[in-house]
């Protein structure tokens, strides 16, 4: 998993980073609230561990901002505020689990794994008239079956899970091709082009868009209404 840890206590941050890394996870670290929100908004993570009391922006405000932006990455809150009312407040703010400090690392790891299992239990993805059944591995648009190669299916699944957000080439290399570097090839461009032909060609509204200098985005484009005719001109 790729996990974002937002924790201002250096010892706690080092402890979490070391423990998660030793178990094979990729850890990104932010030590301040606003930096954490920026990373959480721009990156692609499987889970987040967020301290409640942070400089700059507190943990619950970060979560509220993420949920308002339609980012539903599973979040585990860590906090020394462990009363029932504190936990209830955290859950109502949008976190998926709440763990009081001090904590056992084994429990934190088990809770994270449970959160990600829950998040990946979804069996159908949908954007406009584009639908993906993860169990039958059937993709349709407007009721029409679209035949995809395995890599194209994986690419579309990742784009649909991040619908509405810009997905960079690096993110695709890491999540779809399992490369942790840019090999300077056009493999992504070729696959995106083929995928676009399959899911957009023949349909009125394009869904797969290239964001110049940034990456790609799967989204329903905003329709800008045409200006009304000036009645005085008639």
What is the mean predicted confidence (pLDDT) over 92-121?
88
Q: Is the pLDDT of residue 142 over 80?
A: yes
pLDDT at 223: 57
Pull the structure tokens for residue 94: 């949008």
**pLDDT at position 111, please?**
93
Which one is the CATH code of 2-119: 3.60.15.10, 1.10.260.40, 3.40.640.10, 3.40.50.2300? Answer: 3.40.50.2300
Domain chopping of the chain, boundaries = 2-119, 124-218
Instruction: From residue 178, give the alpha-carbon distance in Å to each of 35, 113, 170.
Output: 27, 20, 10
pLDDT of residue 233: 45
What is the C-alpha separation between 113 and 103, in angstroms, rounded?
16
Has residue 89 got a pLDDT over 60?
Answer: yes
The pLDDT score that the predictor gives to residue 60 is 95
pLDDT category at 46 given cuts 50, 70, 90 is confident
Please determine, looking at this structure, whether the domain spanning 124-218 carries the CATH number 1.10.10.10: yes
Cα(102)–Cα(190) distance, rounded to whole angstroms? 49
pLDDT confidence bin for 177, thresholds 50/70/90? confident
Residue 199 CA to residue 74 CA, distance in Å, equals 29
pLDDT beyond 70 at 195: yes
pLDDT at site 187:
87
- Checking if the pLDDT of 224 tops 80, the result is no
pLDDT tens-digit readout, 29-40? 999 999 999 999
| 124-218 shares the fold of 2-119 | no
178 or 111: which leads in pLDDT? 111
How much is the pTM?
Answer: 0.55
State whether residue 215 is helix, strand or coil: strand
Which residue's entry shows tokens 């990156």?
Answer: 43
Can you tell me the mean pLDDT for 80-88? Answer: 89
DSSP string, 29-49: EE-SHHHHHHHHHHS--SEEE
Cβ pair 156, 208 in contact under 8 A: no
pLDDT at 42 over 90: no
Is-contact 124 133, C-beta < 8 A? yes
- Residue 136's pLDDT is 80
**Is the separation of the CB atoms in 108 and 99 below 8 Å?**
yes
């Amino acid at each position: 998993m790729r996990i974002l840890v937002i924790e201002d206590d250096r010892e706690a941050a080092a402890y979490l980073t070391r423990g998660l890394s030793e178990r094979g996870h990729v850890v990104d670290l932010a030590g301040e609230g606003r930096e954490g929100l920026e990373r959480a908004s721009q990156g692609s993570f499987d889970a987040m561990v967020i301290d409640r009391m942070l400089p700059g922006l507190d943990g619950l405000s970060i979560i509220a901002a993420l949920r308002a932006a339609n980012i539903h990455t599973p979040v585990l809150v860590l906090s020394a505020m462990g009363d029932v009312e504190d936990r209830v407040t955290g859950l109502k703010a949008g976190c998926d689990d709440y763990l009081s400090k001090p904590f056992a690392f084994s429990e934190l790891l088990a809770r994270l794994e449970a959160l990600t299992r829950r998040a990946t239990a979804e069996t159908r993805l949908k954007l406009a008239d584009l639908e993906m059944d993860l169990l039958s591995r059937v993709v349709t648009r407007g009721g029409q079956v679209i035949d995809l190669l395995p890599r194209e299916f994986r690419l579309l699944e990742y784009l649909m899970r991040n619908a509405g957000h810009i997905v960079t080439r690096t993110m695709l290399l890491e999540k779809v091709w399992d490369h942790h570097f840019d090999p300077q090839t056009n493999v992504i461009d070729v696959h995106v082009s083929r995928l676009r032909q399959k899911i957009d060609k023949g349909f009125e509204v394009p869904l797969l868009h290239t964001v110049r200098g940034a990456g790609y985005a799967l989204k329903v484009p905003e329709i800008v209404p045409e200006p009304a005719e000036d009645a005085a001109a008639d």
